[in-house]
Amino acid sequence: MNIFIQTLTRDLKMALRNPSSFLNPLLFFVIAISLFPLAISPEAHTLSNIAPGIIWVTCMLAVLLSLNALFHYDYDNGVLEQMVISHHPLPLLLLAKITAHWLLTGLPIVLLSPVLGAALFLDSESIGVLMLTLLLATPSLSLIGAIGASLIVGIKNSGMLLSLLILPLYTPILIFASSAVSQAQFGLSISAQLYLLASILILSLMGSPFVSALALKTSLE
């Protein structure tokens, strides 16, 4: 467990010393969302109707933007090689890296979402549901994204390949999360969507570190 904390703090320390690595996707998230009122309509009714979809699609793209950096730098400088040959369980080391990724990308998105939700005229109850769906599902985005990132590590200019691999896997999360926020706007029950998002999180938490470890070992051979 000590090595989990060491790897997590190492990744956080590195990110804080090179803040552009995690600030760029967050800036993209904020700027992309603020473009929609300019392009579609500044009218409250229109914006509040499309707000759940806009925020969720942009959130996924922002996470996707940040995934390339998850293993790329450690691969380039040889630290990933040392992690693979270490006697510590590789899934545990990867889980620490994925946790750091979520703390630097998913969590700030959750914290920014009330401001952006209010800017798109979401009511306070819907903003609460939006935050809840983001809190439940952004860890899944990091976990599922790690599988794609480990498969393409070592392949140059693989940004498009990562999108092709990962976006289809993100689709169920997008459907359930944005429909939960839309239903909350009409005062309907959202428990089914929340349970489904929670089950996706548990499944990805149990599977992703192991699948990513296998994919990394294969990529490094």
Partner 1 sequence: MSELIVNKISCQRGYNNLFSELSFSLTSGDILKISGANGSGKTSLLKILAGLSSAECGSVSYNQNKAGSSKYQQDIFYLGHLPALSPELRCQENLSFLSQLQGDDVTDKVKDTLIDMGLKGYENEYAANLSAGQKRRVVLASLLINQAPIWLLDEPFTALDSDGVVILEEQINKHSNGGGLCVLTTHQECNLPNMQILSL
> Is residue 20 close enough to count as binding partner 1 by CB under 8 A?
no
> Is residue 155 close enough to count as binding partner 1 by CB under 8 A?
no
- Residue with Cβ nearer partner 1 (79 or 202): 79
> Is residue 4 close enough to count as binding partner 1 by CB under 8 A?
no
Q: How far is the CB of 219 from partner 1 (least distance, A)?
A: 11
Contact with partner 1 (CB under 8 A): which of 18, 34, 189, 199?
Answer: 18
Q: How far is the CB of 89 from partner 1 (least distance, A)?
A: 8
> Is residue 87 close enough to count as binding partner 1 by CB under 8 A?
yes
- Residue with Cβ nearer partner 1 (45 or 87): 87
Inter-residue contact 95 to 209 (CB < 8 Å): yes
Helix H or strand E segment including 158: none
Task: State the Cα angle at 208 between 81 and 82, rounded to 5°.
Answer: 10
- 202-219: buried (b, 16+ CB within 10 Å) or exposed (e) per residue? eebeeebbebbbebbeeb
> Is residue 156 close enough to count as binding partner 1 by CB under 8 A?
no
Inter-residue contact 40 to 50 (CB < 8 Å): yes
What one-letter code names the amino acid at 147? Answer: I
- Residue with Cβ nearer partner 1 (90 or 136): 90
Contact with partner 1 (CB under 8 A): which of 12, 48, 61, 73?
Answer: 73
Residues 27-66, one symbol each (x = binds partner 1 by CB under 8 A, - = not), give ----------------------------------------
Inter-residue contact 108 to 26 (CB < 8 Å): yes
Task: State the Cα angle at 153 between 151 and 154, rounded to 5°.
Answer: 130
- Residue with Cβ nearer partner 1 (8 or 110): 8
Which positions ≥6 away from 109 have C-beta within 8 Å?
Answer: 26, 29, 59, 62, 63, 134, 138
> Which part of the chain contacts partner 1 (CB under 8 A), choosing from 14-22, 25-33, 132-140, 173-181?
14-22
Q: How far apart are CA 87 and CA 207, in angstroms?
A: 20
Inter-residue contact 55 to 133 (CB < 8 Å): no
> Is residue 221 close enough to count as binding partner 1 by CB under 8 A?
yes
Footprint on this chain of partner 1 (rule: CB under 8 A) = 2-3, 6-7, 10, 13-14, 17-18, 73-74, 76-79, 81-89, 93, 220-221
